[in-house]
Amino acid sequence: MPSLGNAECQQYGCDQQRVRRRLTPRHRVRRSSHMPGRILQSITRVASLVAAFLLIGAVVTSAVASSNKSVQIDEDLRANAEVLKVSLGTSTPAHQVNIKFGEYSVVSSKVREGRETTTSEFLGPVAHTRVRNYFTFVLKGAASTTAKVKAEWNILSEKPGQCLEIDFGGDVSIDYCLGDEEPQAGFHDLVVAPIQIDGEAASRWTLLLDVVRSKSGLTERAGTSYLTDGSRQIVIRPVTSAGPAKSLLDLPARGFEFWEAGQSVGAVQYYAGGALGLNKNVVYLRRDLDPQMKLLLASAMTAIMEYKDEVLLED
């Protein structure tokens, strides 16, 4: 034990050359004669474990509760739709898109990794990055009819550009840019997918999906999105189960609803909300639609689910 100085000896008193440091009450641990130290430590350890289990239980309960959600769709569609649970199978090199629901299933598919390009103006403050990804699949429907989808998914993002660094010496430097624009956060996704149904000479319908999402995944909004054949247009609108998310455990269910001429004709839920909301996809198809229109909508919804699955892999 280290010795104290003269000032400390005068204050506390020194017994020969051995000095014992005095403990203030907050540093002392009083042990009852009826509770040995090891028992006290065991009880403390058990209490800590119980508290930890209670905390984990509360988090899991909250996550499960927040995952039991459904997107809010048109009531007329809900009353008149086939509700099909989606099976997302394991992706393999031979079967990269493995999606089934009702009488619809992907029978062949291919995913190709993207190519990244970056452009920026001379001394521009912002550089624009574009990544092109591709996936194709054949969806089989009723009576073995098929639809072929060839999708291009573009990821647009921004980052600081290459500005001119001017060193003034003395650890002082500035970046000189032609403009004061700041890079926008998040990603801008554009999915373009021609859909060719059996018996058609060429692709008549095209899916266009425009989505802006944050890097964290907490926020997402859709721009102008639709299915079109050049004369008809089926508008695609985002749907959720609640308002903006406050945390990853509080994310709402998410999906898209398809509207034509003021009537909801179908919807797809690609996320069920909360921390356990993955792989709980649901498809809604209006019962009174003809088989060809159902196959068209099912193909577009499959493309959306595959795109969202690829987003998870990218993140």
Going from the C-alpha of 83 to that of each of 86, 281, 282, 286, the distances in angstroms are 10, 11, 7, 9
What are the residues whose beta carbons fall under 8 Å from the beta carbon of 143, sequence distance 6 or more? Answer: 291
Position 36 scores a pLDDT of 53
Position 196 scores a pLDDT of 94
Band of the pLDDT at 64, cuts 50, 70, 90?
very low
**pLDDT, average across residues 175-199:** 80
Band of the pLDDT at 68, cuts 50, 70, 90?
low
Band of the pLDDT at 182, cuts 50, 70, 90?
low
Percent residues over pLDDT 90 in the chain: 41
Residue 238 · residue 221 · CB < 8 Å: yes
Compute the mean pLDDT over every residue in the chain, rounded to the nearest whole number: 78
Please list, residue by residue across 134-154, b when 16 or more beta carbons sit within 10 angstroms of its beta carbon and e when fewer do: ebbbbbbbeeeeebbbbbbbe
Residue 10 reports pLDDT greater than 70 = no
Tell me the two tokens of residue 78: 């809900």
Of 90, 133, 139, give the one whose Cα is nearest residue 111. 133
Q: Is 299 helix (H, G, I), strand (E, B) or coil?
A: helix
Higher pLDDT, 256 or 29: 256
Which tens digit of pLDDT belongs to each residue from 253-291?
999 999 999 999 999 999 988 767 777 899 999 999 999
Higher pLDDT, 116 or 148: 148
User: Checking DSSP bridges between strand 205-213 and strand 187-197, what pairing results, if any?
Assistant: antiparallel
Position 22 scores a pLDDT of 34
Residue 226 reports pLDDT greater than 90 = yes
Residue 16 reports pLDDT greater than 50 = no
Range of lowest pLDDT (42-56, 238-252, 294-308): 42-56
**pLDDT, average across residues 130-147:** 92
Band of the pLDDT at 52, cuts 50, 70, 90?
very low
Position 42 scores a pLDDT of 56
Position 69 scores a pLDDT of 80
Band of the pLDDT at 47, cuts 50, 70, 90?
low
Residue 315 reports pLDDT greater than 80 = no
Instruction: Report the alpha-carbon distance of residue 267 to residue 285 in Å, rounded.
Output: 7
Range of lowest pLDDT (113-122, 178-187, 283-292): 178-187
Q: Where are the alpha helices (DSSP H) in 71-219?
A: 75-79
Instruction: Report the alpha-carbon distance of residue 66 to residue 240 in Å, rounded.
Output: 13
Position 177 scores a pLDDT of 66
Percent residues over pLDDT 70 in the chain: 67
What are the residues whose beta carbons fall under 8 Å from the beta carbon of 31, sequence distance 6 or more? Answer: 37, 40
What are the residues whose beta carbons fall under 8 Å from the beta carbon of 188, sequence distance 6 or more? Answer: 155, 156, 157, 210, 211, 212
Q: Is 157 helix (H, G, I), strand (E, B) or coil?
A: strand
Cα torsion angle, 227, 228, 234, 237, sign: positive
Furthest-apart CA pair in the chain: how many Å? Answer: 107
